[in-house]
Structure 1
Amino acid sequence: MGGVLIVYELDKAATTRASPGVPLGAVRRVHAAPAAPGTPTATGPRTLCGKDTFAMETACWKPSEHPEGPWYPEEYASAVCPDCDAVMET
């Protein structure tokens, strides 16, 4: 598999951005998605668990930049998708 990007499934009811790099809306779930072929900064159409990435927001967090830590931003540990987590752990 090529690069993996982190995407946020958001609750659009909350619409204020606290600061740059903080998702717009409350994070409902944190997913992992493969990068689009030939475009390492864009997600493919589906997360590793099969959800559509169209309405998700791409995180600044890159698992490849944090090889000793978890694949997701630690502040969102409680929102990690269990299916994406299972794929990332293999």
Structure 2
Amino acid sequence: MASIVVLLELEPDQELGPDGVEPVVLLVHAAGADPDAPEDPLPRTLCGLDTDAMEHAHYRPARPGDPWCPPALYDKRCRECQAVLNSL
């Protein structure tokens, strides 16, 4: 897998409000990038969930060796996605 897209699984029925209140992030997932549109995820995360209901995190590691998910959300990373990435 050449590239991943980092996605946020949000608490149901929450969106970013006009007052800028952030929604609650349940888990951070990884999905393969669509080869035809690299900013778009494939239909399933690495752990098998549907990506349609997830929000794009727009995060990319700054340099090799940086975590695949945003450092502020590292404790919320999906362990199954992490395991798949570790096996690559």
Compute the TM-score of the two structures, normalised by the length of structure 2. Answer: 0.83
Residue of structure 2 equivalent to 1:43 = 41
Residue of structure 2 equivalent to 1:4 = 4
Task: Give the letter for the 1:43 counterpart.
Answer: P
Moved over 6 A (4+): none
Quick one: distance in 2 between partners of 1:15 and 1:40?
A: 24
Long gaps (5+) in structure 2: none
1:73 aligns with 2:56: no
Amino-acid identity (%): 38
Quick one: distance in 1 between partners of 2:55 and 2:33?
A: 14
Residue of structure 2 equivalent to 1:58 = 56
Quick one: distance in 2 between partners of 1:16 and 1:7?
A: 15
Long gaps (5+) in structure 1: none
Task: Give the letter for the 2:10 counterpart.
Answer: L
Number of aligned positions between the proteins: 85
Q: Mapping of 1:6-21 within 5 angstroms?
A: 6-17=6-17, 18=20
Q: Is the 8 A contact 1:11 1:27 kept in 2?
A: yes
1:1-39: CA deviations, max 9, x gaps? 1310100000035444548xxxx5210000000011211
Compute the TM-score of the two structures, normalised by the length of structure 1. Answer: 0.82
